[in-house]
Amino acid sequence: MAALHTYDTHSKNAIPLRPVIKDYAWGIRGLDSRVARYALESGIIDEVDPDCPYAELWVGTHPSGPTTLRDGSTLEQAVGGQLPFLFKVLSAGKALSIQAHPCKEGAKRLNADNPTNYVDDNHKPELAVALTPFEAMCGFRRLEEIAILIKKHPEFAACISDEAKLACFLSGPKEENKKEALQKLFHSFMSCPKETSSTQLRLLLKRLQKEQSCDFVHPHEEPPWERKLSRAILRLAQQFPGDSGAMAPFLLNYLLIAPGESFYMAANEPHAYVAGEIIECMACSDNVVRAGLTPKFKDVDNLVAMLTYSMGGPTINAGTPAYGDDRIMRYTPPTGEFEVMIITCNPGEDITLPQLPVHSVFIVIEGSGNTDNEDGQRLVMRPGRCYFLPHDCPPLTLAVNANKRGPLRIALAHENQHVDRPTLASAADVGTKQWAGEFALPTSSPNTPRGNGMSSPSITRNSNGDAVVNGFKVPPL
Residue 396 near residue 12, CB atoms below 8 Å:
no
Exposed/middle/buried for residue 278 (C-beta within 10 Å: 0-12, 13-18, 19+): buried
Q: Helix 143-152 vs helix 162-169: angle between axes, to the nearest 10 degrees?
A: 130
Q: Are 322 and 341 in contact (CB under 8 A)?
A: yes
> What string of DSSP letters covers 392-458?
TPPPPEEE--TT-SS-EEEEEEES-S-TTS-S---HHHHTT-----TTPPP---TTSTT--SPPPP-
Please identify which of the residues 142, 290, 330, 409 carries the catalytic annotation: 290
Distance, in Å, from the CA atom of 54 to the CA atom of 23, rounded to the nearest integer, reads 5
Q: Which helix (H) or strand (E) holds 28?
A: strand 20-29
Q: What is the DSSP letter of 26?
A: E
**SS3 assignment, position 36:** helix
Strands laid side by side in the 472-473 sheet: 459-461, 467-469, 472-473
- The amino acid at 444: S
Question: Phi and psi dihedrals of 352, rounded to 5?
Answer: -95, 130
Instruction: Give whole-number Cα distances, 187 to 195, 237, 291, in Å.
Output: 17, 21, 11
Say whether 290 is catalytic. yes
d(CA 28, CA 36): 9
**SS3 state at 248:** helix
230: left (phi over 0), alpha (psi -120 to 50) or beta: alpha
Total number of residues shown for the chain: 477
At 204 the three-state DSSP class reads helix
Q: Which residues of 115-154 are buried (b: 16+ CB within 10 A; e: fewer)?
A: eebbebbbbbbbbbbbbeebbbbbbbbbbebbbebbeebe
Rg of the chain over all Cα atoms, to the nearest angstrom: 24
Which sequence positions are flagged as catalytic? 290
